[in-house]
Amino acid sequence: MINTLQISSQEQQRTALLSACQILLAGGIIALPTDTVYGIAASARNAAAIDRLFKVKEREISKSIAVLLGDVSQATIIAKNFSHKAEILAEKFWPGGLTIIVSKKTDLPPNISSNDKIGLRIPDHPFVRELIRKTGPLATTSANLSGQPAAKTVEEFRSILGDQLDLIIDGGTVTGGIASTVVDCTVDPVKILREGTISSEKIFAC
């Protein structure tokens, strides 16, 4: 059975951080809670690990995978250009349910995105942010098969994906349950590609 670690106490969090870091930096993939839904994650710099994400989800390779950051400073690792409008939205809604589409750097693994753009987000989840500050940005996609509902608990995906993962971080029930809003900041005016937890009214008001 796949190793599952709880993070309901500080001691458990320390153990989970150490294990998750070792696995991710070695090229493994893990499931973890975020502020919106459960996700499966791999190092954004590891092409083989990203390829595993696509296979686990049965996801079309033409669909890009978003990248989670630990803090705003990590955006420069992934983004070729982080525009002024992107900065405004990040300051207002990060950490939180906003994915900002930016132009990606050319040295990223080609399978992370089928074009020259990539989505960035900082989750409103302290454990996940601390993990990413240690590992570097993580390519992350929802913990479900493509086209199926996103998972809010480990039980909702364990039987389907568990055997293909190297570790599951169990943070209990995710309270958000709604996917992030996706805004393309490579165009002017910015374009909402998916309305999620943050309304379009709030985006354009900002």
- Which of the two residues, 114 and 67, has the higher pLDDT score? 67
Measured distance CA(161)–CA(155) in Å, rounded: 10
Q: Using CA of residue 182, residue 113, residue 177, residue 150, what is the dihedral sign?
A: positive
- Which whole number is the average pLDDT over 36-57? 96
Quickly state the pLDDT bin for 206 (edges 50, 70, 90).
Answer: confident
Position 179 pLDDT exceeds 90: no
Q: What is the number of residues in the chain?
A: 206
pLDDT at 116: 95
Position 128 pLDDT exceeds 70: yes
pLDDT (tens digit per residue) in 99-108 = 999 999 999 9
Position 177 pLDDT exceeds 80: no
CB atoms inside a 10 Å sphere around CB 102: 22
pLDDT at 2: 81
pLDDT (tens digit per residue) in 139-171 = 999 999 999 998 999 999 999 999 999 999 999
pLDDT (tens digit per residue) in 21-38 = 999 999 999 999 999 999
Residues 6+ apart with CB under 8 A from 141: 39, 40, 53, 57, 59, 65, 66
Q: Domain spans of the chain?
A: 4-205
C-alpha distances (whole Å) from 32 to each of 92, 190, 194, 195, 198 are 25, 30, 22, 23, 22
Measured distance CA(42)–CA(25) in Å, rounded: 9
Measured distance CA(150)–CA(178) in Å, rounded: 8
CB atoms inside a 10 Å sphere around CB 130: 14
Position 1 pLDDT exceeds 70: no
Pairing outcome for strands 66-68 and 117-121: parallel
pLDDT at 175: 86
Average pLDDT, the chain: 95
Q: pTM of the entire structure? A: 0.95
The string over 73-100, giving b where at least 16 C-beta atoms fall within 10 Å of a residue's C-beta and e elsewhere, is ebbebbbbebbebbeebbeebbbbbbbb
CATH of span 4-205? 3.90.870.10
